[in-house]
């Protein structure tokens, strides 16, 4: 099984700093290619969001380099999820403590995906960054942990009203700014022909799922050069439509 990756991030039209942070790690192992993809969106309304997002990225990168080889040798999939849960909760405490020390609030969302060949896939999610799977259609795998998303799920808010709802950026939890964080986890297996998109909310506000799907059609994306080209094109399309947030996307193709 071959796994292709591409990434693009942009500060956007109005912000001075890019508070999004991204990690892509790839390794060839005896059980196939292993890929870690992580995207974090530092809270735009909170100070030093880039510090929070980069800290979480570094924690996952260190885990990939130092702990994953042992876990792979033991094929202990349950231990990987346990460690991810601990990493997220440890980072929540550390970022919160740092914020208290400097007198500022910090926070970040997280969407992470690990693909271990055809053997195992794990997704972790906190906040409103997203992960989509593209095959014969486009499917949002993560659920937004936002106030408006909760109201939609409970039938108290029309999805069409979200774009103008003043509460649309209110998160139910994020790493560093919540007293307790309980990440969502999804386990499964990645299959040849699938494309996965991880993105910050700035990437998806001004473009449609249909536009995403046609940009990254599994049968038409054959190499990383084309994947990166399409990622850059959609980021620029967001900017043309006056997206004001940081804009980031990671693309993973299984083939």
**Per-residue pLDDT reduced to its tens digit, 101-114:** 988 889 999 999 99
Spans of the chain, pLDDT less than 70: 44-47, 161-162
Look up residue 105 and give its two tokens.
């609030």
Rounded to a whole number of angstroms, the CA Rg of the chain reads 18
Cα gap 41→49, rounded to integer Å = 8
> pLDDT digit string (tens) for 171-204?
999 999 999 999 999 999 999 999 999 999 999 9
Which residues neighbour 93 within 8 Å (Cβ) at sequence distance 6 or greater? none
Residue 105 pLDDT: 86
pTM of the model: 0.94
Q: Which stretches within the chain are classed as H helix?
A: 49-66, 68-74, 77-102, 147-153, 201-204, 209-215, 224-240
Q: Which residue in 50, 40, 57 sits closest to 19, CA to CA?
A: 50
82, 11, 79, 59: which is closest to 175 by C-alpha? 59
Q: Which long-range contacts (CB under 8 A, 24 or more apart) does 99-105 make?
A: 99/48, 99/176, 99/177, 102/48, 104/46, 104/47, 104/48, 105/43, 105/46, 105/47, 105/177
Q: What is the pLDDT of residue 30?
A: 87
């Amino acid at each position: 099984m071959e796994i292709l990756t591409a990434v693009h991030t942009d500060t956007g039209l109005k912000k001075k700093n890019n508070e999004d942070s991204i990690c892509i790690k790839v390794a060839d192992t005896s059980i196939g290619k292993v890929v870690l993809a992580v995207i974090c969106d530092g809270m735009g309304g909170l100070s030093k969001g880039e510090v929070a997002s980069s800290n979480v990225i570094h924690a996952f990168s260190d885990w990939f380099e130092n702990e994953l080889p042992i876990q792979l040798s033991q094929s202990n999939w349950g231990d990987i999820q346990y460690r991810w849960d601990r990493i997220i909760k440890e980072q929540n405490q550390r970022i919160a403590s740092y914020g208290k020390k400097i007198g500022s609030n910090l926070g970040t969302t997280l969407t992470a995906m690990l693909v271990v060949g055809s053997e195992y896939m794990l997704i972790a999610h906190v906040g409103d960054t997203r992960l989509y799977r593209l095959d014969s259609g486009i499917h949002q795998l993560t659920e937004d942990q936002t106030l408006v998303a909760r109201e939609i799920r409970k039938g108290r808010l029309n999805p069409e009203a979200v774009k103008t709802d003043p509460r649309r950026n209110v998160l139910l939890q994020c790493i560093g700014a919540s007293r307790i964080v309980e990440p969502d986890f999804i386990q499964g297996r990645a299959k040849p022909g699938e494309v996965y998109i991880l993105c910050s909310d700035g990437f998806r506000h001004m473009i449609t799922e249909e536009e995403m799907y046609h940009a990254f059609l599994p049968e038409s994306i054959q190499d990383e050069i084309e994947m990166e080209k399409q990622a850059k094109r959609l980021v620029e399309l967001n900017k043309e439509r006056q997206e004001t947030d940081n804009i980031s996307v990671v693309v993973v193709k299984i083939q």
